[in-house]
Structure 1
Amino acid sequence: MKRKFYNSSTERVVFQALFLICSIILGGTTATKAQHIIQGKVIDKNKEAIVGASILLKNTPKGTNSSPDGSFRIENLAKGNYKMIVSFVGFLSKEINVSVPLSSNLEVTLYETDKALDEVIVTGVFDQRKRIDASVAISTINTKELRTLAPISAADLLKNIPGVFVNSSVGEVDNQVTVRGTPTVNRVGSDNTSGYFYVSMQEDGLPVSNLTGGGIGPDFYMRADVNLKRVEAVRGGSASITGSDAPGGLFNYVSKEGGSAFEATTILKYGLEGNVNPYFRADVGFGGAINANKDITYYIGGFYRKSDGARYPGFPMNNGGQVRANLVKTFKGGKVKLYAKLLDDRNGTFDFLPYTNFDKPQIASGFKDTDTFVGSGEAQFNYRYFSNGPDVNFNPKNLIHNKEKMIGLQFEKSLENGWRISNNFKYSNKSSQWNMQYVLGVGTTGIDATGLPGMWGNVGANTLFGTPRIGMLSVKNALTGEEYYRSTQTAPGVFSTQLDKLPNNGFIFGMGNALNVNVDEIIDQLEIHKQVGRSNFTLGAYFGRSKVDHESGFAGQYLSTLENRPSPLAVSVTAPNGTVTQVTTPYGYKNNGIFYAHNILTNNRLDVFFGQTSPIGNKFTLDYGFRYNYMQFVGNAEAQSTSQLDFPLLFAGGYDKNPLTEYDNLSLVATTPWSYDRVYKSLSFSSALNYKISDKQAVYVRYSIGQKAPDLSRITQPRTKESSEFLYLEPIKMTQVEVSYKVQTDKFNLFVTPFYSQISNLAESAFANDTIPNTFYNTPPVYSKQRSIGIEFESNVKISTNFNIRGNLTLQDPKSVYKSFWDVGNPGKADDKIIEIKDASIPLTPKVLASITPSYSTERINTSLSWRYVGKSPANSFGAFDMAAYNQLDFTFGYNLTKNINANFNINNVLNTLGVTGWYPPGGFPASTTPENFTKAQRDANPNAVWGARTTQPRAFYLTISYNFN
């Protein structure tokens, strides 16, 4: 039976309300008879149309915005004289005397200014407004600022925005963006399910993808390059109604379009990451008009980049690029844009470093900040998930291979009587194939003493599934053949070690993460706008459909040396009769092809939203809106059983039928496939009142309730039908209140925004060992609630024509109202228990975020020094220790060699300071995977222990040469 889009009284009320609103708009506006009009066009000095310029009649409620061809029209005017104010971001405002009915075909020319203190808002609200009039917390990174930055990733551009915490320590992809204390995750291994959970990353007004989590993150398919014109960043409650499933914020990356004159840009960038590792990138972009009327324009741009990374494993960590293009036809009152993108890129992520001293973290003796433990790229092999399944190749040099083919069509048209319609549609095919090695723990003091319980079958204790194996265990460097370790077990628990010379007295335990995701995706957003005087009404619909083929699993588990660019360790056992069992592949892998799950699913989304902005007198502006969201995950799944070993395969000698090659013997049997149909419905609301104290001061208050459905990882995580059913989670609810005071002049602006947010229905489940070795289960979910109180400061001061200072400060106090989680204890469910603590810390969420950037520019040079500070944060909910505060200093110097040639020199992390952004506790595996369970007592008992830390990236140098053809 087909599921209806609405089937409850609540949903019927929503759609009836929308119908009533449309009727009111239509009825209330069509009855008004036109009197006189003012119409015209807004252009720049090159006769190019200015889209979105604000046109207001002073001391009246009348006003409008220029359409895509620059035209505007103000209706229903009485005869008389008016003062018309025309303004747009980056241009000097103009005040014009007009007479009605004589002013019917005006041409208003605006001239650019270097003043960047006043921006027009096009994201986060349903209409275009200046910051002084806007009731949202928004920041804009403009073209001039983008030219001076050397970001690690697209997300890295957001670091200087108040209230936004960006963790880009892992590299160009798989970053985290959190807003106003929203939860982050301690990224052990590949766990980054909430990297963009509460926010929407967008390109030109549409989400990069409908999906987050499960190996699908927006930054896998988003790159900042020569195509980028500006970035608009909105945080807070208004995003709940203007973005799909995004209660925390919206970040829109706006692309360039061609103009009437030909222009081209070539950018060559060379760098040294980690002080010595080469980086090369080339960007090329060009555009212009293609017909005599110059109403059809194009822009094409892209990049190619190859870099070894700040921590070089022996093969490039980033290799690939993208091409984007658009073709725009402008006509009276509107435009049509055809756009496309082709992305093909390989990206690695950085791993943990061994650290000591919890109070003042420092790299363990013998290691340095450019070391890497990601493992050798030589560890290539084939494996299977099932005995009758196909061979799968694991090749670490392929890293995370991301591809996207995308095409879209955008339409905008201004109609008579204040109507405007727009539609944005895109189709994309995305794929992401992972061949990543992740460190899960460090074993020290020798293999016998540490052991590798659970998944390794206690190889260190010379046992297999609990059965003692008498004989000699040998560990060799898989690349050189040198033997590092040898011990003999003469009786159960009786060892005789003959050789122990592992580098740094330890070894690395890790997993080969193998993920293969393909997504066919359609996204469409329709908006209908009606302007009545200075009031704006918006009615819209958002539709998304993602067809997903999601295969996840692990190629196996591996051992390697504990040193920079580690070598794989090959393990063998020689029985007393001389029989040799190869425990690992020649390159250190064992238990190949485990934790497999396969989902074929469809994600359907339908949002209906409404918004209104209306002035109340000359001082107040009211805006409000709501968004109804219907989301469905429907699909089928199969997996390896987490509780039943494939004993026939085990005793038959595995896939190769050779019991002496033990690495392919272990497998789990397939579960019975199951199906699911998960539906999530939510209604979000946001309203604000802006009071304009004067033309230079204003204050607003906003109240919002937003909801967020679970992401893809919650759907693909379950490995049985039972766990699929009890991991069916309700949407997360996010309540926000914010108040903002704004001051804005030609030389100074200040935005002060106190905020309160509360997030409830936060679910958590544990993945635990069962009583049978190498089998696992999921616990039922438990729920938590948290809140955050804070205040944001954002300011820009123009000291002189050449000298400017921009600064941001966020002070916040994030706390768990109550925190619930599982203590799974010993293997099996018998001793599992729920622990609840109140007023707990929120891990890895800093209480202070600050940045200040003084900059100096003339016609020939521009230079800036950016200082960013991240305050201390709790390591886990128990507050076992605090992650130390850290800061970073970035420097840029640009020089215009000629009118068309510019050179820019950047140093990221000038002082080479490292901040800890993720960690795992001491004790090796499996303790390393449960940092939340580490206590103060454990820390105090072993204060000199070696633990793992993921850090910000070390110093890097970049030289960029740009050539502009105009």
Structure 2
Amino acid sequence: MNNYSLLLKAATLAAISSSALAWSGCALAQAAAPAPAATAGTPAEAEDEIIVTGVARKDGLRKLDASFSISTASEEMIRETQPTSTADLLKIVPGVWVESSSGTAGANVFIRGFPSGGDAPYLTIQMNGSPIFPPPTLSFLENSSLFRLDDTVERVEVLRGGPSPIFSNGQPGATTNFILKKGTSTPQGSIRATLGSEGLYRGDFVVSGPVAENTTFMIGGFYRTSDGLRDTQFPADRGGQVTGSLTQKFDNGEVTVYARRLDDKNAFYTGIPLISNNGKISAYPGFDPGNDTLIGNEIRRVSIEVAPGATPVTKALDLGEGRGAKITTLGATFDFEFDAFQLSNKMNYLKGDANTRGLFTGGNPTSLTSYIASQVTAANRNAAVLAAAGRPATGGSATFVNGSGTVAGSQAVLEAGIWSVDKQLESFTDELRLSREIFSGNNLTIGGYFADYSSRDLWYLGNNVLLTVEPNARLVNVGLNNGVAVSRSGFVGSPFFDVNASYNGRNTALFLSDEWKVTPTLRVDAGARWERQKVDATLENNTTGVDLDGNPLTLYNNSAAILNGTYRTIEYAKSKISWTAGATYSITDRLNVFARANSGFAFPQFDNLRDGQFNVQTVKQYELGVKTSTRFYDLFLTGFYNRFKGLPFQQFVQNPDGTQTNLTRIGGSRAYGLEFEGAIRPITGFELATRGVVQDGKFKDFGENSGNRVSRQPKFLIALLPSYEFSTGLGEARLFGTFTHVGKRFSDVENQQALGSYETVDVGASLDIDDHLSFQATVENVFDKLALTEGNARIIGGAASGGTFLGRPIFGRHATLTAAYKF
């Protein structure tokens, strides 16, 4: 892959001709009847945009008047961003740090210095105002993995802090609400084709129109196949989705029902070998850090041993399934007015599978000679192995599993686990709100929220294989000279941690919110929420240290964890109250200031309870902000402070003897900072936008790590986004780009794995030939920058202080070309 050919050359020439630094990604061609983008050339839209997320009443609130921080993106802005995944879109949001280097699914998302070891525990993904799955994160499941972007999405609103702890599922971090298109009164639609230099072929469509008087429909979706942003030697991304809705309008309201089916398989990328020289990171010899991966055809299809027997029971795995999803979602929104009352209801039901088949790297690479020596030492120290062999080992040898001969002692090798996680998900959520104006300027809202959700889990973690350190790695077999077999078809280990669990959760909440326009320039609001969570679970117990085949001479399965047929149960119930209060003052119609305080919480989820973490996480947040928007400029500033307590931190770490330990800790943090986004439009057609954050987050009450910086999140991030629109003989053209600077970070809570600062440049160009035909071309990471999103997550401390180490870089340069036709 990544022989960029004519596609890359054409896209690069079209984009770089803009002489603009790129606004990340590509404005994919316009779809049916788009609303005007809240960007250059349409300042009125930016000034008067109405938002509905975090607002009590169904009719929403002008974004400029909101007493909280919220970012929005229209359909066109989403396409300009050209996100590699749903989570990757959130890079447009100040105060949100996204690590999307895992591919389409499995991102890590961090909010405003909230401490986290990964996944996205403080990010809620909503569709039409309903959480698609009530827990924001379970192990091996962050909820952006359950949602795919396509042309059926009209816009997105991302609320940080503010009143978020009061409504919906009470998320204290960020709530991302994807709002779907509805049917239209006249027939219309669009089709779009996308090609990518990584072997991407994608088609999108959306059609809408009337069914009957006051009844309209919308249907759309996508299908795509891709070799992947890293070369896996097989189709890395395959699948698509279809979404449909019906809207019925009445004299006093409307009802919309919608359905979505997602069936998608996505490669899951983890760490690769890199070189560190006094903190300066470079490529490992023979390994392209932007495009290569250890995954390949040789380890794609394997069988892991999961239960004992003379011939151990096996489970077939295919890494081609990656971290995909087969999900059906049904939902409805109901908005009516009855005399002085407004009634709103949002319902969502989800059912399906979200499994993981992934290669998880462990300890840093070593030479085969050193690896064999360590196995000789371990075998000779084991009395049972020594007795069965009859003599100690003095050496060993290795061969390639594929039959290509003996492996040289100088060959670099590493152990990596092939992990299998099955998740069967089901959830139902419903939120009901009733609003009424109590007196002039004062609106009171009461509501309730109910969620019932479950996960059926079957995990086999571990299953280490011995691999050559090269792209599309080869499997290696090792045997000792006293008859001991270190490996089986490359496997040097069996499962170290199994889970067979049935989890059920139920949350019930009541909330009250009041908004009062005290004067024409002063608006205040306050709210409170009571919520109760109840969880019950049944889990099968593990027996560890089991020899699966009863033969001490086969080291690869001598120390397995197995499900043993005994069970334990968990019963948990807890109630908690959250609150918020805010005010906004209009200095002018286009200049507002606001203040906000809230107190939120996060209940322990299924995996926390399984590991004995019953504490409720609490966070207090304070915000001060300024908002202004005119024809010539926009500016949104939010200063924030938060104090976090009760953080459960979980990490699977690699021990020196090759075993792994599930490490858990409880701690807290504090963070303060300034989010900013804005734009200037000095001349017609030209805009220079910016977004970013300056923040300082540190651990508190976290033992020896207290005072360390919160892991993974930069202290400073800024993006500059120039664009220029102009007319040509062919049609309306747009040149755009993004220059992004990401500050230094630490991969670990010990602050010993430093992740350096870096800059990237993206460029793009678009051409709308007429009202029907559009083209776009983009190049991302133009200069093929090497930069890390994380270090070695399986090692505590200074894993990257010098020499060879494992880390996960951003993707290399890639190009995209799209064409769309509206009708």
TM-aligned CA deviation for residue 790 of structure 1: 0.7
2:597 equivalent in structure 1? 703
Is 1:930 the counterpart of 2:795? The answer is yes
User: 1:880 and 1:289, CA in 2 relative to 1: closer, same or farther beyond 3 A?
Assistant: same
Cα offset for 1:531?
2.9
Residue 64 (structure 2) pairs with residue 132 (structure 1): yes
Report the RMSD for the aligned CA atoms in angstroms: 3.0
SS in 1 for 2:84: coil
Please report how far the alpha carbon of residue 405 of structure 1 lies from its aligned counterpart in structure 2 after TM superposition.
1.2
Partner of 1:118: 48
1:846 aligns with 2:714: yes
> Which aligned pairs between 1:281-680 and structure 2 lie closer than 5 A?
281-291=202-212, 293=213, 295-353=214-272, 354-369=274-289, 370-378=291-299, 380-387=301-308, 391-417=314-340, 419-448=341-370, 458=378, 469-470=392-393, 473-485=396-408, 500-502=409-411, 506-532=412-438, 533-554=440-461, 556-573=463-480, 575=482, 582-586=485-489, 588-642=490-544, 645-646=545-546, 649-651=548-550, 653=551, 663-664=556-557, 666-668=559-561, 670-671=563-564, 672-680=566-574
Instruction: Look up the match of 1:802.
Output: 685
2:129 paired with 1:177: no
- 1:913 corresponds in structure 2 to 785
The CA deviation at 1:787 is: 0.6
Instruction: Give deviations 1:416-456, integer Å, cap 9, x for gaps.
Output: 12x11111222221212222122213332333367557xx9
Give the TM-score taking structure 1 as reference length: 0.76
Mapped contact 1:507–1:562 kept (Cα < 8 A) = yes
Distance across 2 between alignment mates of 1:872 and 1:466? 49
Which whole-Å deviations, capped at 9, do the CAs of 1:631-669 have from their partners, x for residues lacking one? 122011013224xx335x543x4xxxxx77664554345
Greater RCO (Cα-Cα under 8 Å, separation 6 or more): 2
Structure 1 residues 662-718: Cα deviation after superposition (integer angstroms, max 9, x where no partner) = 6455434545310011223221111001111121211111111110112333234x3
Deviation at 1:803, TM superposition (A): 1.6
**Which residue of structure 2 lines up, in the alignment, with residue 856 of structure 1?**
724
Largest Rg, 1 or 2: 1
Task: Please name the residue that 2:121 is paired with.
Answer: 197
CA contact (8 A) 2:132 2:348 kept: no
Deviations 1:696-746 (A, max 9, x none): 211111111110112333234x3xxxxxxxx23211111111101222223
Other-structure match for 1:688? 582
Contact 2:162 2:598 in 1 (8 A): yes
What residue in structure 1 maps to residue 86 of structure 2?
154
Partner residue, 1:954 = 812
- Over 3 Å counting, the alpha-carbon distance change for 1:660 and 1:452 in structure 2 is closer
d(CA) in 2 for partners of 1:776, 1:878:
19
Q: Secondary structure at the match of 2:370?
A: helix
Alpha-carbon separation, structure 1, partners of 2:33 and 2:524:
30
Q: Which residue of 1 aligns with 2:695?
A: 812
Secondary structure of the equivalent of 2:342?
strand
Alpha carbons of structure 1 residues 890 and 368: separation in structure 2 relative to 1, 3 Å: same
The structure 2 residue matched to 1:237, chosen from 158, 162, 168, is 162
In the TM superposition, 1:781-792 aligns within 5 A as: 782-792=665-675
* 1:582 positional shift: 4.6
1:759 deviation in Å? 0.6
Instruction: Select which of 609, 613, 617 maps to 1:732.
Output: 617
Structure 1: gaps of 5 or more residues: 1-47, 51-87, 92-111, 186-191, 486-499, 654-658, 719-726, 821-835, 921-927
Is 1:748 the counterpart of 2:638 in the alignment? no
- Structure 1 residues 329 and 379, CA, compared in 2 at 3 Å: closer, same or farther? closer
Give the corresponding residue for 2:24.
Answer: none
CA distance in structure 1 between the aligned counterparts of 2:339 and 2:148, rounded to whole angstroms:
39
Alpha carbons of 1:406 and 1:742: their partners in 2 closer, same or farther (altered >3 Å)?
closer
Offset of residue 223 of structure 1: 0.5
**1:262 Cα shift?**
0.9
Q: CA deviation at 1:358?
A: 4.0
Inter-partner Cα distance in structure 1 for 2:415 and 2:654? 18
What are the residue-to-residue correspondences of 1:849-928 with 2, within 5 Å? 849-858=717-726, 860-880=732-752, 882-920=754-792
AA at the equivalent of 1:667: A
Amino acid at match of 1:209: F
Report if the CA contact (8 A) 2:255-2:332 is conserved: yes
Does structure 2 conserve the Cα–Cα contact (< 8 Å) formed by 1:376 and 1:567? Answer: no
Contact 2:791 2:806 in 1 (8 A): yes
Give the letter for the 2:125 counterpart.
Answer: M
Return the letter of the residue paired with 1:290. Answer: V
Contact 2:380 2:393 in 1 (8 A): no
**C-alpha displacement of 1:750:** 1.2
Report the count of equivalent residues.
Answer: 774
Secondary structure (helix, strand or coil) at the match of 1:714 reads: helix
SS in structure 1 of the partner of residue 79 of structure 2: helix
Q: 1:910 to 1:460 in 2, by over 3 A?
A: farther
3-state SS, counterpart of residue 689 of structure 2? strand
Using the alignment, how far apart are the partners of 2:737 and 2:614 within structure 1?
A: 46
Task: Kindly state the Cα deviation for residue 884 of structure 1 after the two structures are TM-superposed.
Answer: 1.1
1:129 and 1:904 mapped to 2: Cα distance?
A: 34
Q: Is 1:763 aligned to 2:628, yes or no?
A: no
Q: Is the contact between residue 89 and residue 118 of structure 1 (CA under 8 Å) also seen in structure 2?
A: no
Render the CA deviation track for 1:15-71: whole Å, top value 9, x for unaligned. xxxxxxxxxxxxxxxxxxxxxxxxxxxxxxxxx999xxxxxxxxxxxxxxxxxxxxx
Conserved in 2, the CA contact under 8 Å of 1:818 and 1:840?
A: no
Distance 1:704 1:636 in 2: 35
Distance of aligned partners of 1:854 and 1:379 in 2 relative to their CA distance in 1, 3 Å threshold: closer
Distance 1:235 1:585, change over 3 A: same
Is 1:221 aligned to residue 146 of structure 2?
A: yes
Instruction: Report the alpha carbon displacement of residue 380 of structure 1 after superposing the two structures with TM.
Output: 3.0
Task: Give the partner amino acid of 1:598.
Answer: N
| CA contact 2:767–2:774 (8 Å) conserved in 1 | yes
Report the Cα distance in structure 1 between the residues aligned to 2:233 and 2:625, rounded to whole angstroms.
50
Structure 2: runs of 5+ lacking an equivalent: 1-31
* Residue deviations 1:137-190 (CA, integer Å, cap 9, x gap): 0111112212323111111111122111111111111112222111242xxxxx
Q: Aligned residue for 2:4? A: none
Q: Do the aligned residues in 2 keep the contact of 1:756 with 1:790 (CA within 8 Å)? A: yes
The aligned amino acid for 1:698 is N
- On the 8 A contact 1:762/1:785 being kept in 2, the answer is yes
For residues 37 and 661 of structure 2, the distance between their equivalents in structure 1, rounded to whole angstroms, comes to: 58
1: distance between equivalents of 2:37 and 2:338? 27
Q: Is the 8 A contact 1:313 1:374 kept in 2?
A: yes
3-state secondary structure, aligned to 1:412: strand
Cα distance in 1 for partners of 2:255, 2:627 equals 36
Letter aligned with residue 210 of structure 2: A
Query: Structure 1 residues 682 and 171 mapped into 2: Cα distance closer, same or farther (>3 Å)?
Result: same
**AA of the residue aligned to 1:760:** K
Question: Does 1:209 pair with 2:130?
Answer: no
